[in-house]
Amino acid sequence: MASSSALSRISTLQNHISPLEANNKLRSLVKISPEVSDAISNGRAVVALESTIISHGMPYPQNLQTAKEVESIVRENGAIPATIAILNGVPCIGLNEEELERLASLGKSVQKTAGRDIAHVVARRGNGATTVSATLFFASMVGIQVFVTGGIGGVHRHANHTMDISSDLTALGRTPIAVISAGVKSILDIPKTLEYLETQEVYVAAYKSDEFPAFFTEKSGCKAPFRVDSPEDCARVIDANMKLNRQAGILFAVPIPKQHSAAGNIIESATQRALTEAREQKVTGSAETPFLLARVNELTGGTSLAASILSLEVPLIFTFLPKSFDG
């Protein structure tokens, strides 16, 4: 594997700078699975995973099956998965099989939890599925350096009227974690999203491509700010970002394989129709993205869901990154 030339930099740093070692009070605020806790304490590779994709991204039991497959891929690549969610008011970093099952079966009755919602869900002892922004917060709290997801949130279309901009972007701007994703969902305004990420000083690069990917498809029509062509390229960027003590995050966008890329024009047509329906039904805020994704999936006969699942699994080729450094 291309990563074999550089084993253990981030994991070594995790072992030395874990916030848990500096502030034991955090142990009373979150529940860390024994497997994840042991990995962090011993400098082993850990990969953070969000949970909104489980509760709001797809129906049961497909969501549970996908969650298990994703965790399995992480383990196959030598890392420990840390799926993050809030259960009964307790932030959980690393879910066991029973907790995954519970989260998947509860589905959309679980609150979609962004960074701003964390205190509310915890105070009410509720159940919350973490978005990218909330997952970044908890991963950073315990010293996890790499987070893999399908697609990040962004600037919504017509944001010049609605001011609807995902907190994922500001969270990336203040959290020094490497996020590996399949780009930005095509239901969003990708050019404005890239501009906003630049304003937040987030390093953005496409993997083996000059063009930024659009989640469902490998191309968006937008040039990527930077390009990386190997795991070592990614590792060097993460290493430099940490050594320079930059507080902004990193976004590596990995295109969905061309042969699996859903027909862009079909999804774009469905997206435009779904956007019109959302405006007519006054669907806004945190409810908009789940509505649009579900409607686009209906309009494309399931094509977009299949692409969505693959777009989550493809970035997992980078799960070795937490152990791909050598100090």
**pTM score, whole prediction:** 0.81
Range of the domain at 195: 27-313
- 108 as an active site residue: the answer is no
Given 50, 71, 218, 288, the catalytic residue: 50
pLDDT, one tens digit per residue, over 267-285 is: 767 877 888 898 899 887 7
Contacts for 76 with CB less than 8 Å, ≥ 6 apart: none
Residue 17 lies inside a defined structural domain of this protein:
no
Residue 161 has pLDDT above 70, yes or no: yes
Contacts for 174 with CB less than 8 Å, ≥ 6 apart: 200, 247, 248, 249
Residue 108 lies inside a defined structural domain of this protein:
yes
The per-residue pLDDT for 17 is 45
Residue 20 lies inside a defined structural domain of this protein:
no
Q: Kindly state the average pLDDT of the residues 290-300.
A: 79
Question: What is the total count of domains within the chain?
Answer: 1
Given 31, 112, 185, 323, the catalytic residue: 185
Q: Give me 226's structure tokens.
A: 């930077």
Residue 116 lies inside a defined structural domain of this protein:
yes
Residue 4 lies inside a defined structural domain of this protein:
no
DSSP string for residues in 66-88 = HHHHHHHHHHHTT-EEEEEEEET
Residue 110 lies inside a defined structural domain of this protein:
yes
Residue 124 has pLDDT above 90, yes or no: yes
Residue 250 lies inside a defined structural domain of this protein:
yes
- 50 as an active site residue: the answer is yes
Q: Which of 49-63, 76-90, 120-134 has the lowest mean pLDDT?
A: 49-63
The CATH code of the domain that includes 149 is 3.40.1790.10
Residue 3 lies inside a defined structural domain of this protein:
no
Q: Which of 131-135, 234-238, 300-304, 308-312 has the lowest mean pLDDT?
A: 308-312
Residue 62 has pLDDT above 80, yes or no: yes
